Structure 1
Amino acid sequence: MTASLPEFTPEQRHEQVLRLPTPSSHDRGPAETADVFARLAVWLHGSPSVHETVDAVVQFALQALNCSHAGVALAVRGRPEVPAATDPMVAEIYHWQMAGGVGPLIKSMRDHETLLIRDTAVETRWPDWSAKVLSLGVRSVLDVPLTTSARSVGVLGLYSVVPDAFSADDEAIAHILARHASVAVATARHEENMAQAVDARKLVGQAMGILMERYNLDGDRAFAVLRRYSQQSNTKLRDVAQQLVDTRKLPG
């Protein structure tokens, strides 16, 4: 059973992640390295939101791997979003690729493929992207997909200002971190979706209660009224209910 976690503010959680030992030290044995990732997994799975989960991932990556900057891009409704980055430059690189639809981030997310760019100064697969990141001082990049058995979750991007920065050990550690992050992000998303669904049901129930009291309707007819207004106004049922609760009036 996963250990329960004490309540921390986001700032306290950030400090706790930075205090975790890193697996990159050469004097760590397999058991010690496994313990480091086990402790990190507890922190990731205990994060109360997707944002705090990915923030913990990039902060740990910055400590554990030979990178200058790190970021996570998540696939949201088929499009990438950038909820966590250690430097605005990373978000700029991500958004530039999203706008153009090309680059290692796009390919890694689409094809679930790890991409290592040893030196952006000589990279030829994406010349425009190479020129962009080189102008920002980035010389090597490692993009690792975040995936579950069901779908693509996103990409963990690692950036260094020196060429050929990422060793085979760095890549192996990045893959382990990405696996933990994939499951943690998927779990956090599921919990957030469940919480939103519960909130929506409560809101619809409140709106139905208002209609039942005001117009002497039963539950089925009150729900039918909400659904009809939702369809006619092309508005989500939850939003119709929210407006009724807030204003005591139906849309339009």
Structure 2
Amino acid sequence: MPGPGPDDLATALASMSRNLLAQETLQDTLDAIVHHAVKLVDGCDVAGILTVRRGQVATLSATDDLAAESDKAQSEAGEGPCFDATWRRQEVFRIEDMATEDRWPAYVPKARALGIGSMMGFMLFTDDENLGALNIYARSSNVFTELSEQVGWLLASHAAVGLANARKDAQLKEAIATRQDIGEAIGIVMERYKVQEEQAFAVLKKASQDSNIRLREVARTVAQTGEIPGARSSSR
């Protein structure tokens, strides 16, 4: 769909940035990014955000099933523009006509079958082996221009800032919740088995290691049931 004119672009991006920072959750932020992409990037019919970690592709948000199906096709093929972007740390890619594209022989036929005519991708984040990318699709070929790419890059740059803030906020909330859960579980173990705080934490940690379950999940189980495998033997 047509994007905003040049005079309105700066205002639209500023408005988007404020909107992203106002989202309450990380998922809300991801969903807002893809909807803004459809609204702002000329020629964009569908947008999605995926992550690639150790060769595994996962769809984080999409405005249409087409984006999720494209992600799945790349995962099944083990190749595609997003894989190349991961290996090369490529910030932007653009496929003008999927009908004449020949770089990914296992993925491209599936993309054509899905009805993808053109495609662009913009890196949103990288950490360790984890890539996050915003992918923009058109059902027609040769619809993305240099201006479309520039607007997409600007949008992705603004979105990356909002997404980084959302991820940090989510990590902080997770850390606080984890500390609260563990603290409650330690108190329960201390009371039930008459041990000191360090011993109670050791009991929880050992149960986590023995069961191969995250410490927070062990703590939640203790808080909900009052029971923990191995607690009596560990407290002696």
Indicate whether the TM-score tops 0.5: yes
Report the CA distance shift for 1:75/1:136 in structure 2 as closer, same or farther (over 3 A): closer
Match of 2:66 in 1: 89
Out of 49, 52, 57, the position equivalent to 1:80 is 57
Q: Does 1:58 align with 2:37?
A: no
Report the CA distance shift for 1:76/1:151 in structure 2 as closer, same or farther (over 3 A): closer
Whole-Å Cα distance in 2 between the matches of residues 78 and 192 of structure 1? 24
Post-superposition offset of 1:181: 1.6
Matches within 5 A, 1:85-234: 85-113=62-90, 114-147=92-125, 153-234=131-212
Report the CA distance shift for 1:183/1:130 in structure 2 as closer, same or farther (over 3 A): same
1:87-107 CA-to-partner distances (Å, cap 9, x unmatched) read 112101111102322001221
Match of 1:33 in 2: 9
Match of 1:24 in 2: 3
Aligned Cα root-mean-square deviation (Å): 2.3
The residue identity in structure 2 corresponding to 1:24 is G
Which deviates more from structure 2 when the two are superposed, residues 231-240 or residues 58-67?
A: 231-240
Whole-Å Cα distance in 2 between the matches of residues 51 and 110 of structure 1? 26
Match of 2:48 in 1: 71
Post-superposition offset of 1:128: 2.5
Post-superposition offset of 1:50: 2.0
Matches within 5 A, 1:6-25: 24-25=3-4
Match of 2:233 in 1: none
The residue identity in structure 2 corresponding to 1:63 is K
Out of 5, 22, 47, the position equivalent to 2:23 is 47
Report the CA distance shift for 1:78/1:129 in structure 2 as closer, same or farther (over 3 A): closer
Whole-Å Cα distance in 1 between the matches of residues 210 and 134 of structure 2? 42
Report the CA distance shift for 1:166/1:247 in structure 2 as closer, same or farther (over 3 A): same
Whole-Å Cα distance in 2 between the matches of residues 61 and 97 of structure 1? 21
Question: TM-score, normalized by length of structure 2?
Answer: 0.87
Post-superposition offset of 1:147: 3.0
Q: Please give the secondary structure, in 1, of the residue aligned with 2:213.
A: coil
- Aligned 8 A contact 1:59 1:86 in 2: yes
Unaligned runs of 5+ in 1: 1-21
Out of 212, 217, 221, the position equivalent to 1:239 is 217
Match of 2:234 in 1: none
The residue identity in structure 1 corresponding to 2:175 is A
Post-superposition offset of 1:175: 0.2
Unaligned runs of 5+ in 2: 231-236
Post-superposition offset of 1:49: 1.8
Report the CA distance shift for 1:107/1:77 in structure 2 as closer, same or farther (over 3 A): closer
Whole-Å Cα distance in 2 between the matches of residues 248 and 226 of structure 1? 12
Report the CA distance shift for 1:76/1:44 in structure 2 as closer, same or farther (over 3 A): farther
Post-superposition offset of 1:232: 2.6
Post-superposition offset of 1:79: 3.9
Match of 1:8 in 2: none
Whole-Å Cα distance in 2 between the matches of residues 71 and 168 of structure 1? 20
Q: Please give the secondary structure, in 2, of the residue aligned with 1:128.
A: coil
Which deviates more from structure 2 when the two are superposed, residues 222-231 or residues 196-205?
A: 222-231
